[in-house]
Amino acid sequence: MIKVAPSILSADYVNLQPDIEKVDQAGAEVLHIDIMDGSFVPALSYGPGWVKAIRPITKMVLDVHMMVQNPERYVEDFAKAGADIIGVHVEATPHIHRALQMIQNAGATPEVVINPGTPVSAILPVLDMVGQVLVMTVNPGFGGQKFLQSTVSKIAELDAIKKEKGYDFDIEVDGGVNDQTVVDCAKAGATVAVAGSYVFNADDPAARIKALKDATK
Ligand code: DX5
Ligand code: ZN
């Protein structure tokens, strides 16, 4: 059964706490927090202050997805704010190794992220440093996009490397995930599913979380 990470990008910003409590009580293990800088991706979202505000209201794992150019500038701030996992895109810095080292030194779990157009080979040299790999299943920047089926083979490729080398990182997928698309992801080896619009643009977010889990039993 897959772990579920609702993305608060699609939550109600004015009533964030009830939305977070809802998914927490529904058994979501992880809370996915999307950070966008208006440069690596066109949109802007929020910064470390949001993570700091959210930290005391939930025990869920806080998974910070940095869609930020040169993320090493901010990883310590996010760790201090209470992030458990900090994800940095390999496309966003010439110093991915250093960025991951900085996350680890700051006491958080390092995660490397790849866009749909980036091959798994681009992150091979850092796979022994990470606790999680995020395979983007849409091009990052917006919620509510269509799942890109072509990304599934990369999940399987990572899963094979994981087994061959004895690594134990989680494989997370993000973008266009619903009770249909999650099935192929889980079969290919994904262990964590981010879901934004599927969970929050629904009358009953708890039922959506259950549906993702039931589909991957
Ligand atoms: C997209 C973000 C996602 C987004 C997913 O760039 O990284 O986390 O919230 O939204 P859905 O699940 O609606 O595709
Ligand atoms: Zn995300």
Give the rounded distance of the alpha carbon of 146 from its chain centre. 17
Residue 116 is classified by DSSP as T
Q: What is the mean pLDDT of the chain?
A: 98
Q: Do the strands 85-89 and 170-174 form a parallel or antiparallel pair, or are they unpaired?
A: unpaired
- From 2, 7, 10, 177, the mutation candidate for ligand 1 (largest count of ligand atoms within 8 A of CB) is 7
What is the pLDDT, as a whole number, of residue 71?
A: 98
**Contact (CB, 8 A) for 98 and 72:** yes
User: Which one of the listed residues 37, 63, 84, 174 is annotated catalytic?
Assistant: 174
- Residue 175 annotated as part of some ligand binding site: yes
Fold of 3-215: TIM Barrel (3.20.20)
Contact residues of ligand 1, CB 6 A cut-off: 7, 9-10, 32, 34, 65, 138, 140-145, 174-177, 194-198
Alpha-carbon gap, residue 140 to 33, rounded angstroms: 13
Q: What is the pTM of this model?
A: 0.98
Q: Residue 34 catalytic?
A: yes
Q: What is the pLDDT of residue 198?
A: 98
CA distance 186 to 173: 9
Show the tokens assigned to 158. 């990572």
**Domain coordinates of the chain in residue numbers?**
3-215
Residue 88: per-residue pLDDT:
98
Strands (E), 23-122: 30-36, 61-67, 85-89, 109-114
pLDDT class of 130 with cuts at 50, 70, 90: very high
Convert the pLDDT of each residue in 79-96 to its tens digit: 999 999 999 999 999 999
Among 44, 179, 194, the mutation site with the greatest number of ligand 1 atoms within 8 A of its Cβ is 194
Q: What is the mean pLDDT of residues 123-139?
A: 98
Contact 12, 41 (CB under 8 A): no
Specify whether 184 is catalytic: no
Percent of the chain residues topping a pLDDT of 90: 100
Return the pLDDT at 209: 98
Residue 101: which pLDDT band, with cuts at 50, 70 and 90?
Answer: very high
Known binder of ligand: residue 200? no
Q: What is the mean pLDDT of residues 190-205?
A: 98
Q: Is 98 helix (H, G, I), strand (E, B) or coil?
A: helix
pLDDT value at residue 114: 98
Give the Cα separation of 67 and 38 in Å (integer).
9
